[in-house]
Amino acid sequence: MNLSEMSPASLFTACVSMSASIMLFQTMLNRVLPHEVKNYIFARISSYFTPFSSTITLIIEERDGMASNEVYNAAEIYLYNKIIDPDIQYFKVSKCSKEPNIRVKFAKCGKIVDFFRGIELIWRFVSEDSKNIPDIDSDNNNILVSREKHYFELSFHKKYKNEILNFYIPFLLKEAKIIRDEKKVVKLYTLACSSSYSSIFPWDFINLEHPSTFDTLAMDLELKKAIIEDLDRFLKRKDFYKKVGKAWKRGYLLYGPPGTGKSSLIAAMANYLKFDIYDLELSSVKRDSDLRRLLLRTTNRSILVVEDIDCSIELIDRRTANHGIHPHFFPRDQKITLAGLLNFIDGLWSSCGDERIIIFTTNNKDKLDPALLRPGRMDMHIHMSYLTIQGFKVLAENYLQVQYDYSNQRFKEVQDLIEEVQVTPAEVAEELMKSDDVEVSLGRLARFLKRKMIKNDEKGIEIQKRKKMKSCDHSTMNSNGKLTEGELWSNDKVVHA
């Protein structure tokens, strides 16, 4: 019987019967066949109804496991200079202070067409809000932020596969490096507000606008030259580090009194190398594992800084054992150990990146554990001393806009005082900023140095008195070796026995 000869009622009955049979068959498949087998069957059936495609699509994700994807970063930089396609309707536009140009980025999904050796390549930027993969704080199981998944799709004809992989991708990496170097703006990173270091973005940043350079640093000329030569040598030694089996990194320890220019030297190094700075506050990090995660979230060609490391945390390891302090006496949320910090500096995890510089600063080098200071961890120890004559010449030229003139009586007076008084570059710079007149500034500085000399002399007399009192206390000890006064002096503080 033809369909045209069937009555409407018969046709409806046949459709209902067929639908029931399909539903019954589907139910049986769901109960009998495993999920993987069903997917395979449906995929094979679908392939017969899908026209054969000659296009290959590469997926370039933002991250490769725990590390960033260099190809994604390169594509991002390279394609930002080609955002002219009308298919892109949403952009992100921003500009930071002191940047000459605005920055244009992708906001949502969009397509860009590129050509390489006559080959058409279709780029698509995809942004997915992965609400089903929340960022979890492992300490209290609170949902912090929802991750956003970013990736690029690169489509082209399949016959160009080898040419794209072997020539276009290397070309992309090279072009991105050129663009990055031309438009490089040094950034200063700090830990984000989120307490979860498993987050994709644990660092927040701003542009580093510190104007310090090696030309403006008030320090010994020979020391300045030695630092510059060491940095230049480090940059040129990629093959050397690989040859000798060492991670391509360098460690610097900056130590000296406050105000001697440690922070300014770090900024000068970053501006000289065009390296970003990661300012790591150890007291904000809870565990050794967090240190490793943070290290993996830093980029190559960067400087990792831990300022005042002797004051940041009390390391739980040999120092606690030497002083008889049990680790349980430390706060529960502080679990950073000396071993974890050492592994962070030069262990296996420290090799996860190239062209990295690690800088520790301290006001008192003697307080640091010797294990932190050995070569391979802190390769170069730089003493930031009080102001020298050479340093004062730099300050005079920078702040007073005059060449140092030894025949000038004021200059000679200041020089003689600097040779006698321990004064920091920061203190002298502050005095020089109080007037635009050269003679007035030098006169104020001379009076300041004289007052400081008198104050230092009084302080020296007080120290001598304390030493004398300490000597007298020791002379009053009885035959049992106990102090009859019941007190002893230690580090200029009175401790009751």
CATH classification of the domain holding 278: 3.40.50.300
- 440 is in which domain, residue-wise? 389-463
What is the pLDDT at residue 105? 67
Q: What is the DSSP string of 408-442?
A: SHHHHHHHHHHHHS---HHHHHHHHTT-S-HHHHH
pLDDT at 146 over 50: no
Can you tell me the mean pLDDT for 315-344?
A: 58
Predicted confidence band of residue 329 (pLDDT cuts 50, 70, 90): very low
Laid out side by side, the sheet with 302-306 consists of 203-207, 187-191, 276-279, 302-306, 356-362, 249-255, 380-383
Interval 394-418 mean pLDDT: 85
Label residue 244 by pLDDT band (50, 70, 90): confident
Q: What is the rounded distance in angstroms from the CA atom of residue 172 to the CA atom of residue 75?
A: 7
CA distances from 322 to 139, 316, 325, 327, 329 (A): 31, 11, 8, 12, 15
Q: How many domains does the chain have?
A: 3
Confidence of residue 139 (pLDDT cuts 50, 70, 90): very low
Burial annotation 213-242 (CB, 10 A radius, 16+ → b, else e):
ebebbbbbeebbeebeeebeebeeeeeebe
- Given a cut of 60, whether residue 328 has pLDDT beyond it is no
Is 122 part of a structural domain of the chain?
yes
* pLDDT value for 212: 93
- Evaluate whether residue 283 is within a structural domain: yes
Within a domain: 240:
yes
CA-atom Rg of the chain in angstroms: 34
Q: How confident is the model at residue 93 (pLDDT cuts 50, 70, 90)?
A: confident
β-partners of residue 357 are 250, 303
The number of angstroms, rounded, from the C-alpha of 94 to the middle of its chain's C-alpha atoms is: 22
Residues 414, 449 contacting (CB under 8 angstroms): yes
Do 208 and 356 reside in the same domain of the chain?
A: yes
343 and 454, same domain (yes or no): no
- The residue that leads in pLDDT, 381 or 14, is 381
Could you give the 3-state DSSP secondary structure of residue 42?
helix
User: Is the residue at 118 inside a domain?
Assistant: yes
d(CA 395, CA 364): 25
Query: Which amino acid belongs to residue 152?
Result: F
Which of 29-33, 70-74, 224-228 is most confident? 224-228
pLDDT at 381 over 90: yes
Q: What is the DSSP letter of 348?
A: G
Is residue 344 located within the same domain as residue 360? yes
Residue 459 sits in the same domain as residue 422:
yes
Query: pLDDT for 439-487, tens place per residue?
Result: 899 999 999 999 988 887 776 655 565 655 655 555 444 444 443 433 3
Q: Packing angle between helix 288-296 and helix 338-346, nearest 10 degrees? A: 20
Please list, in sequence order, all residues whose beta carbon lies within 8 angstroms of the beta carbon of residue 385, skipping any fewer than 6 positions away: 220, 256, 260
Confirm whether 435 is domain-assigned. yes
* Residue 153 placed within a domain: yes
Q: What is the pLDDT of residues 11-26, one digit of tens each?
A: 777 777 877 777 777 7
Q: Are residues 444 and 303 in the same domain?
A: no
> Which carries the bigger pLDDT value, residue 264 or residue 65?
264
pLDDT score at 429: 92
Judge if 393 and 345 occupy the same domain.
Answer: no
Beta bridge partners of residue 143, listed in sequence order: 136
Report the pLDDT value the prediction gives residue 234, as an integer from 0 to 100.
94
- How much is the pLDDT for 1? 53
Percentage helix, strand, coil for the chain under 3-state DSSP, each rounded to 5: 45, 25, 30
Rounded CA-CA distance 110/492 in Å is 68
Q: Give yes or no: residues 173 and 270 share one domain.
A: no
- Of 182 and 155, the one with more pLDDT: 155
Is residue 426, in this structure, part of any structural domain at all?
yes
Q: Residue range 384-399: average pLDDT?
A: 90
**How large is the average pLDDT for residues 90-103?**
66
Q: Enumerate the β-bridge partners of residue 423.
A: none
pLDDT at residue 168 is higher than 60: yes
| pLDDT in the model for residue 369 | 85
pLDDT band at 87 (very low <50, low <70, confident <90, very high): low
Please, what is the average pLDDT of the chain?
Answer: 77
Lowest mean pLDDT among 141-155, 221-235, 282-296, 416-430: 141-155
Give the side-chain half-sphere CA count within 13 A for 222: 3
Token reading at 418: 């600097």
Is residue 252 domain-shared with residue 374, that is, in the same domain?
A: yes
Output 257 or 84, whichever has higher pLDDT: 257
Whether residues 237 and 360 share a domain: the answer is: yes
Residue type, 237: R
Amino acid at 497: A
Cβ neighbours around 487 below 10 Å, total: 12
Q: Do 378 and 434 fall into the same domain?
A: no
Residues 363, 301, single domain; the answer is yes
Residue 38 dihedral angles phi and psi, to the nearest 5°: -65, -45
74 & 95 share domain: yes
Identify whether 329 is part of a domain.
Answer: no
**Maximum alpha-carbon separation in the chain:** 129
Residue 150 CB: number of other CB atoms within 10 A?
17
* Predicted pLDDT at 330: 45
